[in-house]
Every structure is written in C-alpha cells, then in structure tokens.
C-alpha cells in the first residue's frame, strides 16, 4: 500500500477533495493511505510558532525549519524500503506523467507544503526532491500536493479499472492526446457565445456501428493537435 504523508499547516483543506470519488474509494479499499500532519503541532514554543521574520530583514515571514524537521523525524521513523520526501515549490522540477508513474511505485511519499513568502532555505536540505506543478506561483503547496496525490493514486494498481490502466500503458506516451468522445444527444442545438444558433453534431462514423472504422478514426484523431483545446 502506498502511504502519503502531507505536511501542512492547513490539514483541513484536504479531506473535502481527497475523500470523494476515485481517491476516496482508493482509501476505503486500502489501496492508498493519506495522512495529513499539521507541523504546527511540532512547534515547541507556547504560541506554536511556525514562521518568523527573515534574517537580514525584508518583507514577510519565513517558515521555520525546526517544526518541519521534527514532523519529518516522526513520520519517517518506520522502516520503509521505498520512500521519497518531496518539497512543493515553484522552483522545483515540473511534475509530469512519467514522474507520477515513478512515484506510484513507492511505499511512502512525503509531501511538504510551503506557505507564506517562503521557507527557511535549510528545509531544502531535508528533502529528496523539489517539485513544482507548473510555472506559476500559488499561495501554498496544498493544491500541488493534492494534484500529486490524485495523479499518483490513479496509477496504483486496482484504483481505476483494468481497462483504464491499459490505456495508461499504451497511450500515456509523450504528447499523446486522447481521441474525442461524444455521448447523447446525437445533435445539440445551441448558441455559441450568444451568436446565431448552431447544431453541433456527433461524427457520423461513431453512429455507424462499424467498429473497425471507428477504431481507425479514433486512431487518426488521437494525438492530433486539433484535439487540443484552444
């Protein structure tokens, strides 16, 4: 079983998303375990301080290294063969599908969520990897952590159906784009951007019942740049 340990000062941000749908079911089926740890609980002063002003001056506050360190000490005590400690930061390596596949093979994945203006530089020394979810700056590492838990959990065997994992194997190659899908109604009348009415049709071939031709069409559509959204 893959165990996630998320270090955050906002643990209540997680259950709303992670306890629902596929990830929620994966937890109930004990295919993954997701723990949140409030590293504020590991601050030793009576005010439970997790941040402080930067040495040398400057604006904002900096997350302190000790509470994060103490929390890490506790959750990495158990012997785990395959464990990675990741720090979420916009300066990290960009998260992608190959990284998700690599992380899905671990026993324990520790995710540290930064906050505020940043963290003490020494936090970086405590981790195996630094990961970003994209070239933009969020207010903290909580959404990136959820993104990683989501993308990694769906790759754990048994979480999504066999069919979906096969698709993963066959098609999750570099730059692959899935073929377009349609469901009822066959024709959909609408006004796009409040302009004149149009009928958006399902491609004839998908209604033909000719499975060989459908497969061929899907093969051609998959990977087409035109399948990408505008």
Binding site for ligand ADE (CB under 6 A): 88-90, 114, 132-134, 136-138, 140-141, 144
Q: Quick one: 208 exposed, middle or buried, by C-beta within 10 A (0-12, 13-18, 19+)? A: exposed
Q: Which is nearer to ligand ADE, 26 or 112 (CB)?
A: 112
* Residues facing 108 on adjacent strands: 3, 83
Q: Which is nearer to ligand ADE, 108 or 132 (CB)?
A: 132
Residue 22, H or E segment: helix 21-28
3-class DSSP assignment, residue 187: strand
Closest CA to 88 of 27, 128, 132, 55: 132
Look at the block and give the residue holding tokens 């195996």. 128
Q: Which is nearer to ligand ADE, 93 or 102 (CB)?
A: 93
Shortest distance, position 136 Cβ to ligand ADE, whole Å: 5
CA distance 143 to 119: 17
Q: Which is nearer to ligand ADE, 109 or 159 (CB)?
A: 109
Shortest distance, position 161 Cβ to ligand ADE, whole Å: 30
Shortest distance, position 143 Cβ to ligand ADE, whole Å: 8
Shortest distance, position 141 Cβ to ligand ADE, whole Å: 4
């Amino acid at each position: 079983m893959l165990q996630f340990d998320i270090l955050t000062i906002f643990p209540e941000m997680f259950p709303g998303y992670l306890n629902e749908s596929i990830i929620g079911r994966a937890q109930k089926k004990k295919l993954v375990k997701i723990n949140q740890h409030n590293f504020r609980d590991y601050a030793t002063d009576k005010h439970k301080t997790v941040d402080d002003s930067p040495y040398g001056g400057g604006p904002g506050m900096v997350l302190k290294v000790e509470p994060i360190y103490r929390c890490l000490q506790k959750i990495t005590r158990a012997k785990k063969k395959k464990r990675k400690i990741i720090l979420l930061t916009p300066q990290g390596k960009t998260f992608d599908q190959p990284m998700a596949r690599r992380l899905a093979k671990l026993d324990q994945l520790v995710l540290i969520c930064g906050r505020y203006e940043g963290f003490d530089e020494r936090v970086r020394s405590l981790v195996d990897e630094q990961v970003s979810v994209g070239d933009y700056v969020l207010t903290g590492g909580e959404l990136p952590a959820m993104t990683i838990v989501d993308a990694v959990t769906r790759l754990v065997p048994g979480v999504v159906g066999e069919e979906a994992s096969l698709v993963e194997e066959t098609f999750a190659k570099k730059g692959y784009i899935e073929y377009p899908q349609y469901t009822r109604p066959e024709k959909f009348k609408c006004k796009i951007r409040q302009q004149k009415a149009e009928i958006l049709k399902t491609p004839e071939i998908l209604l033909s019942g000719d499975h060989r031709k459908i497969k061929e069409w899907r093969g051609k559509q998959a990977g087409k740049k035109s399948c990408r959204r505008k």
